[in-house]
Amino acid sequence: MNNSLPLAGICVIEIGHSLAAPYAGMILGSLGAEVIKIESAERGDYARDWGPPFVDGSAALFHAINHGKSSIAMSLANPDEAGLLRELIQRRADVVLQNLKAGGVEKYGLGGETLRQSKPSLVYCNLGAFGSQGPLRDKPGYDPLVQALGGLMSLVGGPGEPLSRIPVSVNDMGTGLWAAIGVLAALFRRQATGVGEIVSVSLYETAVSWGGVQIADYLACGELPGRWGSGTAAIVPHQAFACADGDIMVAAGNDGLFRRLCEVLGIPALAQDPRFANNGARVSHRQALIDLLQAEFSRQSTAHWLQALDALGIPCGPIQTIDQVVEHEQTRALDILQRTSDDAATVVGLPISFGGARPSDIGRTPRLGEHNHLLTDTPFIDTPLRRRHSENN
């Protein structure tokens, strides 16, 4: 724990698995909080097995989301062990994160209302699939399902192409972000009142919020949004173009940039064509314009066009693969790729800097149950948890 970071001194108990709650825990931990991860003694977090690739016995994905935490392995179905966790929360926790299936924490006596009765200062965050209200409140959900139900999948791809998911867990990670924001807001208010609260977020609400612009457009005009591939609905040209040897992304987002783009392409008169004179006209005549621009881009290489576009300040860039991103000089300059403290894995650091410095003490990924000793200073009767800890030490 880095005492110079904003959340130094805050203790977070993460009763979480998979991605959403662990991602929120990783954010809070990277901001300086102590994060104690509660895992199933029988199997650990599901994400430990979400590979290959595997690093030091756990999936690389698990390292990316769980570095810097402690791990306690226990069986919440055992009343004694659930009781130990309640005692730990009472003694240590400022924040609890949980994303068990609906009703899971309540049956173990670990729900927010129950815990806050004895500890009103506790900030308790529920990370659910579909929220606490409505007909789907008890339905389990994972990111691809919520991408489908939340409308995001209907936006991905080009006209006539098969439907596909966004190949990033945007709802899991987005829900983790919203959880962290909610927790930070609740901690800020607690400074003034001394009282915590229950924060609730869900994958479905996150998906609906990602589609907020498209929903606003639909409600304004009654037309469903189209599927524009690398482009966007409301700005043209703002998409990828195929050059003689590869593709580049071009974002000429206003009339001035469009005029400069036409100059670079050697077709300045196009900017005066009434069909393309302003963005609204360009959107209305999208395909005709894209065809004309594409014909010019195909005449030269990516390097030629990127240099020419950069020279006139037109936003553009190559479409890079992950290996190119890792090796890019901009990535290196930002020093956002960080090694865990045991040098076992490389992960992406927190995309925030304080005073020009990124939090860098990211710790390492815990072994399952490695920190069960955190419970040993709590009086309790002999249980399988105590015996497992004794056997492992």
> Looking at the annotation, which residues are catalytic?
172
Question: Could you give the CA distance from residue 90 to residue 82 in angstroms, rounded to a whole number?
Answer: 12
Nearest CA among 7, 2, 19 for reference residue 203: 19
Instruction: Give the DSSP letter string of 92-114.
Output: H-SEEEE-PSTTHHHHTT--HHH
Largest CA distance in the chain: 84
Cβ-based neighbour number of residue 295 at 10 Å = 11
| Dist CA 308 CA 297 (whole Å) | 12
* CA angle (112 as vertex; 115, 118 as ends), nearest 5: 20
Q: Residue 225 corresponds to which amino acid?
A: P
Locate tokens 């005692």: which residue?
A: 87
Cα angle at 168 between 166 and 174, to 5 degrees? 105
3-state secondary structure of 280: helix
Contact 61/45 with Cβ under 8 angstroms? no
Residue identified by tokens 């064509």 is: 273
Contacts with 197 (C-beta within 8 Å, 6 or more apart), sequence order: 123, 124, 186, 189, 190
